[in-house]
Amino acid sequence: MSTSFILRRLGYGLLLMLGVVVLNFLLIRLAPGDPAVVIAGEMGGATEEMLESIREEYGLNKPVLVQLWIYVSGVAQGNLGESFFFNQPVSKLIAQRIGPTILLVISAQLLSILIGVFLGVIAARKPNGLMSGFVTVFATIGYAVPVFWTGIMLIILFASALPIFPVEGMQSVKLRDAPFFTQAVDVAHHLVLPAFTLAIIYLAQYARLSRASMLEVLGSDYIRTARAKGASERSVLFRHALRNAALPILTVAGLQFGNLISGALLVETVFNWPGMGRLAFESILRRDYPTIMGVLFFASAMVVVANLLTDISYRWADPRLRGRS
Amino acid sequence: MSDMTDYKAESPAREAWRMFRRNVPALAGVLILGIIVLLTLYGQFFYAGDAFDVVWAPHEPPGATAEYPLGTDYLGRDIIAGLLTGGGPTLAVGAVAAAITMVIGITLGALAGFYGGWVDNLLMRITEFFQVLPALLFAMVLVTLFSPSLWTIAIAIGVVSWPQTARLTRAEFFKIKELEYVTAARAIGARNKRIIWTVILPNAMPPLIVSATLTIGVAILFEAGLSFLGLGDPNVMSWGLMIGANREYILDAWWPVTFPGLAIFFTVFAVSLIGDGLNDAFNPKLRER
């Protein structure tokens, strides 16, 4: 794979991030009211001195373009502003919260792709069979259930009727000082319900997509060749067909990432998962705009990185694309 | 000679309707959605009661009193009244948001697909930019900054969800603008504006109609999510608001969140059955997928 391709995609990603920063800036200015009051947070009951220091820091008395420059160069140096609710730099707040979100989102993504693709492949073997019908129905249902409601239903089920999974938080308080391995198991235990809740919607979509994609591939000549030379059914399905059917799945997985983050926001709120989504929710309730804007920035950055990885893996998975730019 | 008429080509719309009519899941979708719409429009007339009124003891379970068959919420408000009045705003926001999504998406997609070149380049970069922003988060920010009302919510959902429609429209325009009837229209002197809106767009409609239907479903889920997070209009009862308001008490009472959730589910489920049915009807060849 050419380095220039990766560098170009990287440059483009940075450009998109610059766009997000400018958007953040514009949003605060477009909001009704004094930007200094907006930044301080309407719930904060900011004093006149505080507002004055915000005006000073953000250069709010200067021309708009100068303000933009101050803001953009600040972000470029890692300064996302100060949360007036927490009295902490936003970047620090997010640094504490981004790990749990990444853990949740990646687990959900892996769960949904693995199970979804597996179901889709099985279903594609018999396009009119029972499994196919199940996948189609399940996909339509999975698409229509509000993700936060699934989470709540699971909490109701697992809190009292079947108390085998924790329904809240990421860690047990009593295990805070336990050895690393015990803690990791504890976190994984807490992760089951949130990750599964988030995975359900996408799982259904991957199942449906991979079924369609497999059906298309299974009709091609090289599959007949593989069968003719005596390859086992499993080898035909998973080695010959799935490798070729995987491209659309990969594309969707990349595109889906933004939605996954949106879903994580709701799931974190339902399960009190201490991630960025939960932080965004809390900050919105407090009108803590610097924090909200910081979350928007980092969440977008995660999507940009995911897109970049998709582009790269796409080229890796499809040799036809490699020499091209 | 008279049976010649039997072989007359069927118009695509009529053919699609014939296919749709035979599609049982799609018809079930129409039926479910029809019932839900009728209930939300007229339910309040034969089932009196304000959704915000406290009518009974809090957390009365379903079936315990004949007067309030689905029970009451944490304040003692009637769940059925909430479901009946809460459906209207949810559906209205869904429909308006989907309309906004389609208008933005089709306009930008059509311009990009028709003109190509730098117009396409610019518009697609903007589209990609909007796809990078996590939609729900962006919608939350918009709604909070511009204060929650049904209109800001609908507009926010529209503003965050158009990119997919734009891409779809663009792809259709790319395909159709090369076809002969477009060349023919150009030959008789039709201007770009007319070619875009009256020649290409009508022919690009089938996939866009499917997409519009599915967009309504997505918009309803969005509205529910926003209300659940407490970003709905607090003065308007909606299904999402019911779930959000009762969320703290789910371990004491399952019903105040379960029923509105089911209502959302059935609505979106019906809409997506209809969308799938339309998709099959417009693309008979793809039906086996």
ipTM here: 0.85
Which pLDDT score, from 0 to 100, does residue B169 have? Answer: 93
Highest-scoring range by mean pLDDT, A51-60, A123-132, B70-79, B167-176: B167-176
- Per-residue confidence band for B154, with pLDDT thresholds at 50, 70 and 90: very high
Mean pLDDT of chain B: 84
Nearest to B43 by CA among B88, B77, B73, B76: B88
Contact B136 A155 (CB under 8 A): no
> What would the DSSP string read from start to end of A105-120?
HHHHHHHHHHHHHHHH
Q: Is the pLDDT of residue B165 over 70?
A: yes
Nearest to B224 by CA among B80, B96, B89: B89
B44 by Cβ neighbours in 10 Å (0-12 / 13-18 / 19+) ranks as middle
Helix axes B24-46, B79-115, angle to 10 degrees: 130
Q: Is the pLDDT of residue B102 over 90?
A: yes
A262 vs B134, B144, B224: nearest CB: B134
d(CA B18, CA B24): 12
Contacts of B50 (CB under 8 A, 6+ apart): B81, B85
Give B230's contacts in chain A (Cβ within 8 Å).
285
Contact A146 B261 (CB under 8 A): yes
Q: Is the pLDDT of residue B121 over 60?
A: yes
A-interface mutation test, from B122, B133, B288, most A Cβ less than 10 A away: B133
Nearest to B132 by CA among A307, A201, A323, A100: A307
- Give the rounded percent of residues in chain A with a pLDDT score beyond 70: 96
- Chain A 48-67, residues with CB within 8 Å of chain B CB atoms: none
Q: Is the pLDDT of residue A45 over 70?
A: no
Cβ A312 vs Cβ A1: under 8 Å: yes
Give A148's contacts in chain B (Cβ within 8 Å).
224-225, 228, 243
Residue bearing the bigger pLDDT, B2 or B232: B232
- Per-residue confidence band for A325, with pLDDT thresholds at 50, 70 and 90: very low
d(CA A223, CA B44): 59
A-interface mutation test, from B124, B126, B132, B278, most A Cβ less than 10 A away: B132
The pair phi, psi for residue A89, each rounded to 5°, is -65, 140
Which pLDDT score, from 0 to 100, does residue B5 have? Answer: 52
* Mean per-residue pLDDT, A297-325: 80
CA distance B167 to chain A (A): 13
Q: Which pTM value belongs to this model? A: 0.86
By the CB < 8 Å criterion, does A200 face chain B? no
Mean pLDDT of chain A: 83
> pLDDT per residue over A133-189, tens digit each?
888 888 888 888 999 999 988 988 888 777 878 877 777 777 777 778 888 888 877
Q: Is the pLDDT of residue A92 over 80?
A: yes
Tokens of A147: 């993700």
Nearest residue on chain A to B266, judged by CA atoms?
Answer: A144
* DSSP letter assigned to residue A41: -
B5 by Cβ neighbours in 10 Å (0-12 / 13-18 / 19+) ranks as exposed
CA distance A53 to chain B (A): 22
Question: Lowest-confidence range among A165-174, B189-198, B266-275?
Answer: A165-174
Which pLDDT score, from 0 to 100, does residue A1 have? Answer: 56
Nearest residue on chain A to B269, judged by CA atoms?
Answer: A144
Residue bearing the bigger pLDDT, A211 or B112: B112
